Amino acid sequence: MKKSFLSICIIFLFLNSCEKENEAILEIASPNAAIKVNFNLSDEGQPFYNVKFNNKTIIDTSYLGFDFIEAESLSKNFKIINTSTSEFNETWQMPWGEQIEVVNHYNELNVELEETTEAKRRLSIVFKVYDDGIGFRYEFPEQENWKEFLIKNENTEFNLTEDYKTFWIPGDWDIYEHLYNTTKLSEIDALQYANHKNLAQTYIPENAVNTPVTMVGEDGTHLSFHEAALVDYSGMTLKVDTESLNLKSNLVGSENTAYKVKRSLPFHTPWRTIQITDNAPDLIESKLIVNLNEPNKLGDVSWFTPMKYTGVWWEMHLGKSSWDYGMTQDMNTWTDPGKSNGTHGATTENVKNFIDFSAKNNIGGVLVEGWNTGWEHWIGFEDREGVFDFVTPYPDYDINEIVRYAKEKGVEIIMHHETSAATETYEKQLDTAYALMQKYGMHSVKSGYVGKILPKGEYHHGQYMVNHYNNAAIKAAKYEVAVNAHEPIKATGLRRTYPNIISREGLRGQEFNAWASDGGNPPEHLPIVAFTRMLSGPIDYTPGIFNIKFDEYKKENQVNTTIAQQLALYVVIYSPIQMAADLVEHYEANPEPLQFIKDVGVDWQETKVLNGKVGDYVTIARKERETDNWFVGGITDENSRIIELTFEFLDDNQNYEAIIYRDGDTAHWDKNPLDLKIEKMKINKESKLSIKLTEGGGFAMSLMK
């Protein structure tokens, strides 16, 4: 770390003539000086900060502090006992990711505070200011008279200066699977979503939002609020004061304790983050969240290979087959336990079909859901502890034979652990479950947490579960297992520290299109997700549905995009594991668009966000590691639009064989989603192309050397 007091502007200003230390203003700027954070103490010794972007105040005086159980609040009566600044600049490499090299360049301000009262408790507040935003956290040093505390609430404020156009989901303590709303900040009403249908668990106690929450200002300022490095703490929602335009941290709690977080000192909170840019594409290119996490603690994780995968999955969501072996399809009536109901999906034969298909189509993995005992007792059961077993296959699934066959075909089986949120049962079996995977050479697991958390009273996003998710992933690494959790805790960039945390759900995924009674995910869903949820990390969205209407299974449901957009998602929505989610027969009937899934990369050297507007459209280009081929994807909301593409990002003096998969002339997400036009052409750096995206449409493009 380089100390450079010169490049950092620290101004000590004495506002009044009385020499109170309290009135020093500390200022720290980003390396390019566009973002400035000021820190100060009020007359009462209360810490506050504000943020300027291009000389405009975007966060006005915002106070910081904590309330505790059985201890005085930490809010005022502080004095500054020390301050220091430093500059940090490094470039680190992602073992897999949207790019290889990541620049981590910031200026840091560290303010040490001490109470002027008898207790003399100490607290430091650390700000890191980057060109793409800020992060700050509270650090509690070891101290004589203070060993442990119980946090009732953290009172971090973000006092906004404009009634921003805001893209938000409610501050649900149990699930992020809500549709995004677009309203003014002053019009946020999260409580209208309390008691939502289609959700196996939901709890929205306040008018609060979950993060990332993204805002767009009149002058084009873009802000996104989130957190980084969420470890042994509870998730933060942001309570909205629609009158004063103030956001305040509201931590997820538990019904079992009066406190929300229990920690002993020394300790520090997660980073509170604001990504700040003057345009939409830069939000997606921002690496603030991963940069605020600690470097890789696992070392070499080359045992995990980014891959595309198919699986026994969509067929259950469509109702073609079942997860369980001995229950009728509606999951309500027993047939004869121990005897097959005849619709079980995870049979040796069916899985072999997926293996064959994957091997033929450059797809590295096959996910098998419903392979293990316990599914008869899945949804709606109170007594879920002790039900799921993560080592015992159903009688019609020959796991030894499947693993042998997959290996022969060069395909890896992806393990599935649906815990039904019965965490104690899962924790007891973790070692044996991961050891089984290691024995079979399975290097990734999709886990799931559907239902109310057991033990009762805990929520998916509270401290108890944050620790559960993190501990499971850390343990998995010991067995060379990478984790893709569904119904997870939000991504906070921990993939940098633990690169076996590969992907997760944590949004309304494709599955909602198969069964949600509210019409599924509307065309604007993903053009919002790209600028909200995706800022936090990789998404297991499970794209690639070709049979958009699937009327033979469900007349009432459909995917609300064109087939061209389904292809675009392989590039637009980032994940190091990317599902080809549709049924084998639907792919085999459509070899031409399948070619794109076969060709497209999953691990990138570079990413360029070519254009975009939050909630409307986005185009992203990514260069594949090793091959140097480029892939481009663009998606639009319910409005049709024309995208003008240029190709400056391509290598010099190089011609590329391009295949474009675009919406046909009469394509429309609802009226004609399968109308797809495929064109081949030569493209180089100087090329220009105008592409029309239809309503709910998109385009995908491969550029091979």
Peptide bond into 523 cis (omega under 30): no
The least distance separating ligand NOJ from the CB of residue 200, rounded to whole angstroms, comes to: 8
Partner interacting with residue 418 (select from Ca ion, ligand NOJ, none; CB below 5-8 Å by kind): ligand NOJ
By CB under 6 A, name the one of 450, 474, 678, 704 that touches ligand NOJ: 450
Q: In sequence order, which residues have a C-beta less than 8 Å from that of residue 351 and are 6 or more positions away? A: 312, 366, 368, 397, 402, 413
Q: Can 505 be counted among the known catalytic residues?
A: no
Classify strands 78-93 and 482-485 as parallel, antiparallel or unpaired: unpaired
Interface with ligand NOJ, residue 369, by CB under 6 A: yes
Which residue's CB is nearer to ligand NOJ, number 89 or number 198?
198
Token output for 416: 């599935």
Q: Select from 218, 208, 243 the least CA-distant residue to 164.
A: 218
Distance CA 195, CA 204 (A): 8
Partner interacting with residue 98 (select from Ca ion, ligand NOJ, none; CB below 5-8 Å by kind): none
Encoded one letter per residue, x for contact with ligand NOJ by CB under 6 A and - for no contact, window 297-326 reads ----------------x-------------
516-575 residues near ligand NOJ, rule: CB under 6 A:
none
* DSSP-derived secondary structure letter, 351: H
| DSSP calls for 167-226 | EE-B--SS------EEEEGGG--GGGGTT-TT-SS----SSEE-SSEEEE-TTS-EEEEE
> Counting Cβ atoms within 10 Å, is residue 475 exposed (0-12), middle (13-18) or buried (19+)?
middle
Point out which span in 252-260, 430-438, 503-511, 690-698 binds ligand NOJ (CB under 6 A): 503-511
Interface with ligand NOJ, residue 365, by CB under 6 A: no
Point out which span in 116-124, 275-283, 505-513, 617-625 binds ligand NOJ (CB under 6 A): 505-513
* Count of residues that interact with Ca ion, criterion CB under 5 A: 1
By CB under 6 A, name the one of 95, 448, 615, 633 that touches ligand NOJ: 448
Q: In sequence order, which residues have a C-beta less than 8 Å from that of residue 404 and are 6 or more positions away? A: none
Distance CA 318, CA 555 (A): 11
Residue 299: left (phi > 0), alpha (psi -120 to 50), or beta? Answer: left
Catalytic residue from among 108, 376, 511, 524: 511
Partner interacting with residue 599 (select from Ca ion, ligand NOJ, none; CB below 5-8 Å by kind): none
Partner interacting with residue 313 (select from ligand NOJ, Ca ion, none; CB below 5-8 Å by kind): ligand NOJ
Point out which span in 89-97, 402-410, 435-443, 479-487 binds Ca ion (CB under 5 A): 479-487
The least distance separating ligand NOJ from the CB of residue 447, rounded to whole angstroms, comes to: 9
CA-CA distances (angstroms) from residue 129 to 4, 46, 221, 283, 612? 14, 22, 17, 16, 25
Peptide bond into 393 cis (omega under 30): no
Point out which span in 200-208, 389-397, 481-489, 638-646 binds Ca ion (CB under 5 A): 481-489
Partner interacting with residue 369 (select from ligand NOJ, Ca ion, none; CB below 5-8 Å by kind): ligand NOJ
Interface with ligand NOJ, residue 331, by CB under 6 A: no
Which residue's CB is nearer to ligand NOJ, number 213 or number 445?
445
Apex CA 142: angle with CA 138 and CA 145, to 5°? 110
Helix (H, G, I), strand (E, B) or coil at 407: helix
Point out which span in 74-82, 113-121, 263-271, 504-512 binds ligand NOJ (CB under 6 A): 504-512
| DSSP calls for 287-321 | -HHHHTSPPPSS---TTS--EEEEEE-HHHHHTSS
Which residue's CB is nearer to ligand NOJ, number 45 or number 537?
537
Instruction: Give the footprint of Ca ion on this chain (CB under 5 A).
Output: 486
Which residues are identified as catalytic? 511
Instruction: Give the footprint of ligand NOJ on this chain (CB under 6 A).
Output: 313, 369, 418, 448, 450, 486, 505, 509, 511
